[in-house]
A = this chain, B = another copy of it.
Amino acid sequence: MKTALTELVGIRHPVVQTGMGWVAGPRLVSATAEAGGLGILASATMTYDELAAAIKEVKSRTSEPFGVNLRADAEDAARRVELLITEEVRVASFALAPKKDMIARLKDNNVLVVPSVGAARHAEKVAGWGADAVIVQGGEGGGHTGGVATTLLLPSVLDAVDIPVVAAGGFFDGRGLAAALAYGAAGVAMGTRFLLTRESTVPDEIKQAYLARDLNGTVVTRKVDGMPHRVLRTELVDALESAGPVSGLARAARNAAKFRKLTGLSWRSLATEGLRMKRGGDRTWSQVLMAANTPMLLRAGLVEGDRSAGVLASGQVVGLLDDLPAVGDLIETIVADATGILRRLASE
C-alpha cells in the first residue's frame, strides 16, 4: 500500500511501530522492518553502547529501513545523532521536539526526521524547521499522552502542516488504518498493539496482564512523573494516586539513582534537565525529581516482569486486544483489510 509515508521512507506499508522504552528492541524492530513497516528502536532507555549494539543487531537481521527514537535533551544527544549518521539509520524520531540545528544536521546527512507532536502548533514549528513528517498521538494512546482524542487532534494537525502526518492513539486493525487514511493521514503508528506480538520481548506474564484488560483498564495518572501518563490501572497506580507527597518523593529519589546508574546519566545532567523542565512549565521540584521515575517503574514491569512494582504504559486499545500475533501476520492483515474496506466503500 502506497502513501506519502511509504514513499518518503522507502517501506512497503504505512504502519509504524513506535519506540516504546524497554520494549522496542532489535528483535521487534527487525521483525517490523522485514514485514514492510517502519520499526523504531527506543534509545531513551539504552546507554550509548547499548544503542550502538542494538543498531548493529537490527542491521544484521534485516536490510530494510528502520528508525531510532532519540531524546533531544539527552546529555549525549549530539553523539547519538552522529551514530545514526554513521550507521546510515533511515529515520530519527523524537518524543520531545528536537532543536532546529539537530534537525538540520540529520537532514544534511540523509537521515529523515520524524518528531512526535501533541498539538497543531508544535507540528507547525517542527515542519518550519524542516521535519520530514510528524507522528501525532490522540489522548487514547499509551504512555505520555494529551487530553484531546485522535478524531480531533489528527484533523487539527493535518490542517496545520503539509508534510506527511502519521496517526497514533487508538489504532490496531485495518479499519483504523482505512479511517486514518480517510482523515488524510499517511499511515498509522501503534505501540500497545506491537507490544502484544509474538516478537515483543516483554515477559509473557506481563503480556497476559495486558490481554486481560477491558476498555476501562487504563487510567491517566500524573503521579508517575508529573506529566499525564496512560498506564494499566494496577494496585501500584492506585497506591500512587492516593499516596502523599513524601512517600512519592522518596521512591522517586531512589528510582532516579537507579536510572542514573543504568544509563550513565550524571547527577549534573539530571539536575540540568530538571532545571530545564522546571523553567519550561509549571512543574514543582518534586515533579522534576519524579521525572527519572518513569523509566525505572516501566522497566520493573516491562523487562523484569514485576507486575506489583512496575508501571505498565498502555493505550485504551488494550481493551480490544486478545491475541499475540506474529508481526508479519499483523501488518499483512491490517493492510489487506484496509485495502479491502476502501475498495468496497468506493464502489458502494
Q: Mark A313-325, 1 if CB is under 8 A from B, else 0.
A: 0001101100000
Number of copies: 2
Cα-based distance from A261 to B290 in the complex (angstroms): 54
- Say whether A176 faces chain B, with CB atoms less than 8 Å apart: yes
Instruction: Give the docked Cα–Cα distance between A150 and B317 (Å).
Output: 11
* CB-based nearest B residue for A1: B348
Q: Is A264 an interface residue (CB 8 A)?
A: no
Which of B151, B183, B216 meets A149, CB within 8 Å? B151
Please name all residues of chain B whose beta carbon is closer than 8 Å to the beta carbon of A176 when the two chains form the complex.
151, 155, 183
Q: A151-B151, A179-B179 are in contact. List 8 more A-B contacts (CB 8 A).
A: A140-B149, A140-B151, A151-B170, A152-B170, A156-B215, A156-B320, A178-B183, A179-B183
Separation of A182 and B341 alpha carbons in the complex (Å): 6
User: Does chain B have a CB within 8 A of A184?
Assistant: yes
Residues of chain A having any CB pair with chain B under 8 Å: 2-3, 119, 138-140, 147-153, 155-156, 158, 169-171, 173, 175-176, 178-184, 215-216, 316-317, 319-320, 338, 341-343, 345-348
Check B149 against A316 for contact (C-beta < 8 Å): yes
Complex CA–CA separation, A123 to B85 (angstroms): 53
| A152-B318 Cα distance, complex, nearest whole Å | 10
Q: Shortest CB–CB separation between residue A230 and chain B, in angstroms?
A: 11
Residues of chain B within 8 A of A140, CB atoms compared: 148-149, 151-152
Bound together, the chains give a CA A61 to CA B138 distance in angstroms of: 41
Whether A149 contacts B155 by the Cβ 8 Å rule is: no
A156 close to B341 (CB less than 8 A): no
Q: Which residues of B contact A138 (CB under 8 A)?
A: 149, 151
The answer to whether A149 and B170 touch (CB under 8 A), given A342-B346, A346-B347, is yes
Distance of A179 Cα from B135 Cα, bound (Å): 18
Distance A187 CA – B151 CA, assembled complex (angstroms): 15
